[in-house]
């Protein structure tokens, strides 16, 4: 039965399609919206360094482990995990790791679609000329009006969800594969154009200094936890997206090298987005880099509104953000859809409608947390902030920790070796040490210190 199920969803056309799909998953709101503002509110340079350290030391090894489990199991994360645990003769409780992923995926998709909806709304806001000549107050009012209007938020959230369904119903080859092959090159071209623009028209030097000047006093344990959470979130690891994509990866592709390419692209896009955003922000007097989630939607529009060609550049920028969000959100939906198809024998269309509908419904909680429910607090957070903190800073690192421990200690060696053929003994050793010791210790320490810092100081 398990054997027959293998590969039932199809496979990527080539290793490059996997790279583009995984990069599409990784590069998203996390890089363009979240990274700049979290770096901004944690003081810049030192945060960026910790973040890059987490990517290399924890992110890459855990991502390799996830791809490996996926490619061995060739199914949705839940069933891949179950089969690999069985084949390894490991404790059956390891299976549950797959479930943390599916749950986190639904939770993330729920609020992700809301923020992506803001980006969609701003394409039209920018194109309509509404941003021309605005100042801080008007920019704040435009954003404030959007957040205060549940109807508009729900409209854009729904449009975004429909875009995601449109791709995922097409399946692995014709849906996701085709989408990423078009969207990713487009994304990179637009990013380069905007980088050129910000280099010549913005304050590039100030942005560079802000992101790379090391200011350690501004960093707290909470900041380090956020840097680690950001590393997990941005690489799409700990959730099953990468495991699901790994299930469709050609057998002959080298996992280590492929993952390094994806992590490189992802970090590059985060840094470049930071440079673009801060160049524009610093060129505009009176805007703070630490503006928080509004950085992209308040500070940037002021800057766009005040510059020649800002109408075009502004719309292009929000198209770019929407594309990035789109290619990520499909990877939040696919693992859950694949699981429903396998477990309940459901059709792809039905599974899509059901799960996207569920995430949409859940997303209403986030929509309302910006207006009528803004007074409702969970552990001191609004519903939206709570979901963001819970998934990025707790669920993803936790399930990443379990994945590292599983592949490090419990997975059958022969299975690992078959998936890692062609990898040098030195790299294997280094990877194993990281999974067994470095990643678990680092994740646990950051976890404990970050949580203590958040709730007890």
For ligand PHE, the binding residues (CB under 6 A) are: 25-26, 28-31, 108, 233-234, 236, 239, 241, 328, 331-332
Residue nearest to ligand PHE (CB): 30
For residue 245, the number of C-alpha atoms closer than 13 Å in the C-beta half-sphere is 38
How many CB atoms are closer than 10 A to CB 162?
Answer: 11
The least CB distance from residue 395 to ligand PHE, in Å, is 10
Task: Report the Cα 425 to chain-centroid distance in Å.
Answer: 31
Dihedral through CA 24, CA 152, CA 169, CA 2, nearest 10? 80
Is there a contact between 172 and 11 (Cβ–Cβ < 8 Å)? yes
Between 28 and 177, CB nearer to ligand PHE: 28
The least CB distance from residue 92 to ligand PHE, in Å, is 26
The least CB distance from residue 81 to ligand PHE, in Å, is 16
The least CB distance from residue 133 to ligand PHE, in Å, is 32
The least CB distance from residue 237 to ligand PHE, in Å, is 7
The least CB distance from residue 162 to ligand PHE, in Å, is 18
Q: What is the C-alpha to C-alpha distance for residues 305 and 200, in angstroms, rounded to an integer?
A: 17
| Helical spans, DSSP H, in 236-309 | 241-247, 255-282, 299-305
Is there a contact between 219 and 42 (Cβ–Cβ < 8 Å)? yes
Between 164 and 307, CB nearer to ligand PHE: 164
Between 235 and 311, CB nearer to ligand PHE: 235
The least CB distance from residue 108 to ligand PHE, in Å, is 6
Tokens of 61: 């090894």
Between 149 and 385, CB nearer to ligand PHE: 385
| Spatial CB neighbours of 456, under 8 Å, sequence gap ≥ 6 | none
The least CB distance from residue 270 to ligand PHE, in Å, is 8
Least Cα distance to 71 among 419, 329, 441 occurs for 419
Least Cα distance to 220 among 41, 434, 435 occurs for 41
The least CB distance from residue 305 to ligand PHE, in Å, is 26
Between 28 and 256, CB nearer to ligand PHE: 28
Between 234 and 419, CB nearer to ligand PHE: 234
The least CB distance from residue 432 to ligand PHE, in Å, is 25
- Measured over the CA atoms of residue 393, residue 159, residue 356 and residue 77, the dihedral's sign is negative
Q: What is the C-alpha to C-alpha distance for residues 143 and 141, in angstroms, rounded to an integer?
A: 5
Between 210 and 233, CB nearer to ligand PHE: 233
Least Cα distance to 35 among 381, 333, 444, 324 occurs for 324
Q: What is the C-alpha to C-alpha distance for residues 408 and 395, in angstroms, rounded to an integer?
A: 20
Is there a contact between 112 and 29 (Cβ–Cβ < 8 Å)? yes
The least CB distance from residue 201 to ligand PHE, in Å, is 27
DSSP string of 328-366, one letter each residue: HHHHHHHHHHHHHHHHH---HHHHHHHHHHHHHHHHHHH
Q: What are the respective helix, strand and coil percentages of the chain, to the nearest 5?
A: 80, 0, 20
DSSP string of 167-191, one letter each residue: HHTTHIIIIIIHHHHHHHHHHHHHH
Q: What is the C-alpha to C-alpha distance for residues 112 and 332, in angstroms, rounded to an integer?
A: 10
Is there a contact between 44 and 211 (Cβ–Cβ < 8 Å)? yes
The least CB distance from residue 123 to ligand PHE, in Å, is 18
Least Cα distance to 27 among 224, 241, 225, 207 occurs for 241
In the three-class reduction of DSSP (H, G, I as helix; E, B as strand; rest coil), residue 297 is classed as: coil
- For the chain, the maximum distance between any two Cα atoms, rounded to a whole number of angstroms, is 65
């Amino acid at each position: 039965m398990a054997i027959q199920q293998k590969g039932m969803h199809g496979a990527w056309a080539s290793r490059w399609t996997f790279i583009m799909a995984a990069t599409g998953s990784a590069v998203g709101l996390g890089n363009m919206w979240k990274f700049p503002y979290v770096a901004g509110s944690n003081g810049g340079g030192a945060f960026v360094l910790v973040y890059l350290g987490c990517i290399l030391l924890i992110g890459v090894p855990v991502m390799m482990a996830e791809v490996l489990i996926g490619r061995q199991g060739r199914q949705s994360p839940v069933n891949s995990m179950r089969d690999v645990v069985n084949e390894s003769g490991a404790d059956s409780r390891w299976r549950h790791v797959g479930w943390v992923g599916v749950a986190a995926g639904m939770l993330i998709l729920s609020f992700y679609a809301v923020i992506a909806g803001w980006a969609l709304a701003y394409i039209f806001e920018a194109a309509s000329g509404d941003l021309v000549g605005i100042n801080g107050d008007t920019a704040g009012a435009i954003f404030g009006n959007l957040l205060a209007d549940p109807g508009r938020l729900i409209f854009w959230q729904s449009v975004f969800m429909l875009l995601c369904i449109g791709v995922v119903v097409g399946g692995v080859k014709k849906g996701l594969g085709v989408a990423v092959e078009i969207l990713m090159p487009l994304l990179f071209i637009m990013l380069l154009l905007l980088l050129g623009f910000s280099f010549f028209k913005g304050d590039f030097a100030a942005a560079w200094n802000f992101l790379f000047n090391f200011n350690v006093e501004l960093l707290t344990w909470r900041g380090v936890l956020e840097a680690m959470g950001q590393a997990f979130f941005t690489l799409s690891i700990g959730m099953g997206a990468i495991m699901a994509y790994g299930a469709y990866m050609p057998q002959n592709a080298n996992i280590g090298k492929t993952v390094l390419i994806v992590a490189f692209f992802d970090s590059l896009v985060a840094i470049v987005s930071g440079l673009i955003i801060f160049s524009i922000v610093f060129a505009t007097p009176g805007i703070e880099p630490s503006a928080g989630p509004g950085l992209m939607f308040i500070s940037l529009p002021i800057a766009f509104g005040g510059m020649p060609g800002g109408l075009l550049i502004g719309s292009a920028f929000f198209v770019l953000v929407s594309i990035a969000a789109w290619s990520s959100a499909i990877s939040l939906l696919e693992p859950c859809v694949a699981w429903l198809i396998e477990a309940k024998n459901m059709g792809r269309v039905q599974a899509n409608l059901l799960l996207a509908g569920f995430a949409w419904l859940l997303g209403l909680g986030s929509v309302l947390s910006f207006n009528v429910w803004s007074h409702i607090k969970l552990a001191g957070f609004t519903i939206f902030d709570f979901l963001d903190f819970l998934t990025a800073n707790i669920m993803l690192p936790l399930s990443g920790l379990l994945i590292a421990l599983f592949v490090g200690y419990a997975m059958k060696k022969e299975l690992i070796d078959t998936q890692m053929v062609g990898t040098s003994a030195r790299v294997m050793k280094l990877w194993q040490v990281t999974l067994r010791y470095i990643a678990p210790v680092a994740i646990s320490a950051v976890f404990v210190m970050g949580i203590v810092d958040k709730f007890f100081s």
